A and B are shown apart, each in its own frame.
Chain A
Amino acid sequence: MKKHYLVVAASIALAGAVSATAFAGGPVDEELVIDGEIQMTTRTAAPEGHPLDEVISGWHYRTKETRALEADTFENPAMLGVEDGEQIWNTVEGTEGKSCASCHGDASESMAGVGAHFPKWDADSGRPINIELQINKCREERMGAEPYAFDKGGQKPLTAYIKHQSLGEPVSLDLAEGDMQSWWDKGKELYYTRFGQLNLSCSNCHEDHNGEYIRADHLSQGQVNGFPTYRLKQAALVSVHNRFRGCIRDTRAEYPAAFSDELMALEVYVTWRGTGLSVETPAVRQ
């Protein structure tokens, strides 16, 4: 009788091992080429001081169908948002009678490569700013227009349009600018701090368990090189601070306000963790 139990236990263990292999979703070994033209860097050696050996884009962790959507700009549903952004770029707003284009001209030239290096140090406010905040700064100071509230108005499409001009450019941050290093430190501390009733830090999922499942969801490294990203779940562009807040909320913690010091520090640090990956904006995710 005892022997019989053992056999059963062994076969259960075996079944477990088999299904784990069948469903284990490490990153797929494929290459992302946009429209058969732009070769993307989606895996690269990690920068010095990085806890992982290799940084891997979230694209590798998604299903075949989702990956295909991103590889073809015609099928990428977020390209409609990018086109909206182009319209906003050329639309005059505010008391100064200016549009983005009035100063910056053709975005495909003036913004080429720009989005790959945000967040940047902003000496005026004494803190790092991302593209969203840079847009708001321009709107207030140059256009005489109201700044966009978080995720409202043209913030997401315009951010996506600007960052899309850097498609394929490797992400890199200049930590020597201003006080960026101390914000990086603060961001790192947050990344490893456990939050919420579930007592989870960013690293618990995205560093320790990427490639594995959390319930039905498939954990990636949590790279932000494709933001604003199109999430099929929301059927809309999703900003990086929205996603940060969503992740923190899911740990059952109270989440900080968008563009707060906490989330800006986290954006600096998490962007750095994806150093060398191509900008994929707008990426398509689950």
Chain B
Amino acid sequence: MAAVKPRVKVPKSASAGEVITIKTLISHPMESGQRKDNDGNAIPRQIINKFTCEFNGQMVFSCDIDPAVSANPYLEFTAKVNEAGSFKFTWVDDDGSVYTDEKEIALK
């Protein structure tokens, strides 16, 4: 399994008031907790259970994620940009790890 690695695609710049599309992907096995290994023991659940996106400290998008979501969850959403600033992305893992990424956006 590859290491857990977040990836984000945000346009480098936008005009004030423009609605931009943000694409995010994190490589993660999303082990559902429903599977058993070859010896019949349950494989413990380990998934990304929460994702948030903030723009200059203000929440833009957030969601809870459940075990039915498949490996390497991909989330795409839109956001309206009124000022230059930075998007902060956060993924929360069942094991308590928090993965983050940040992207700057400038005004055209």
A141 to B71, CA, bound (A): 36
Contact A87 B9 (CB under 8 A): no
Contact A74 B23 (CB under 8 A): yes
Q: Is the CB of A84 closer than 8 A to any CB of chain B?
A: yes
Binds B, one of A39-47, A75-83, A126-134, A263-271: A75-83
Contact of A74 among B3, B5, B7, B72 (CB under 8 A): B7
| In the complex, per-residue mask of A45-85: 1 if CB is within 8 Å of any chain B CB, else 0 | 00000000000000000000000000000110100100110
Q: Is the CB of B68 closer than 8 A to any CB of chain A?
A: no
Residue of A nearest to B76 (CB): A75
Q: Is the CB of B25 closer than 8 A to any CB of chain A?
A: yes
Tell me the smallest distance from the CB of A256 to a CB of chain B, in Å: 30
Given contacts A74-B23, A75-B23, A80 and B9 within 8 Å (CB-CB): no
A80 to B7, CA, bound (A): 11
Contact B23 A80 (CB under 8 A): no
Tell me the smallest distance from the CB of A268 to a CB of chain B, in Å: 32
Write out the residue numbers on chain A whose beta carbons fall within 8 Å of the beta carbon of B3: 87
A77 to B27, CA, bound (A): 10
Given contacts A74-B9, A77-B72, A83 and B2 within 8 Å (CB-CB): yes
A83 to B3, CA, bound (A): 10
Contact of B2 among A74, A75, A77, A87 (CB under 8 A): A87
| In the complex, per-residue mask of B1-13: 1 if CB is within 8 Å of any chain A CB, else 0 | 0110101010000
A87 to B27, CA, bound (A): 14
A84 to B7, CA, bound (A): 14
| In the complex, per-residue mask of B25-45: 1 if CB is within 8 Å of any chain A CB, else 0 | 101000000000000000000
Q: Which residues of chain B from 31 to 78 have any CB-CB distance to chain A below 8 Å in the complex?
A: 72, 74
Contact A84 B9 (CB under 8 A): no
Write out the residue numbers on chain B whose beta carbons fall within 8 Å of the beta carbon of A87: 2-3
A178 to B78, CA, bound (A): 56
Write out the residue numbers on chain B whose beta carbons fall within 8 Å of the beta carbon of A74: 7, 9, 23, 25
A80 to B72, CA, bound (A): 9
Contact B23 A84 (CB under 8 A): no
Tell me the smallest distance from the CB of B23 to a CB of chain A, in Å: 6
Contact A84 B2 (CB under 8 A): yes
Write out the residue numbers on chain A whose beta carbons fall within 8 Å of the beta carbon of B72: 77, 80
Tell me the smallest distance from the CB of A84 to a CB of chain B, in Å: 5
Residue of B nearest to A235 (CB): B70
A84 to B29, CA, bound (A): 14
Q: Which residues of chain A from 75 to 105 have any CB-CB distance to chain B below 8 Å in the complex?
A: 75, 77, 80, 83-84, 87
A75 to B3, CA, bound (A): 19
A75 to B21, CA, bound (A): 13
Write out the residue numbers on chain B whose beta carbons fall within 8 Å of the beta carbon of A80: 2, 27, 72
A74 to B72, CA, bound (A): 12
Write out the residue numbers on chain A whose beta carbons fall within 8 Å of the beta carbon of B5: 83
Residue of A nearest to B25 (CB): A74
Write out the residue numbers on chain A whose beta carbons fall within 8 Å of the beta carbon of B27: 80, 83
Having A74-B7, A74-B25, A83-B2, one finds 7 other A-B pairs with CB under 8 Å, namely: A77-B72, A80-B2, A80-B27, A80-B72, A83-B5, A84-B2, A87-B3
Q: Can you name 16 A-B pairs with beta carbons within 8 Å?
A: A74-B7, A74-B9, A74-B23, A74-B25, A75-B23, A75-B74, A77-B72, A80-B2, A80-B27, A80-B72, A83-B2, A83-B5, A83-B27, A84-B2, A87-B2, A87-B3
Interface residues, chain B, with chain A CB atoms under 8 Å away: 2-3, 5, 7, 9, 23, 25, 27, 72, 74
- Please list the 6 inter-chain residue pairs (A to B) with the smallest Cβ-Cβ separation, ordered nearest first: A74-B9, A84-B2, A80-B27, A74-B23, A80-B72, A83-B2
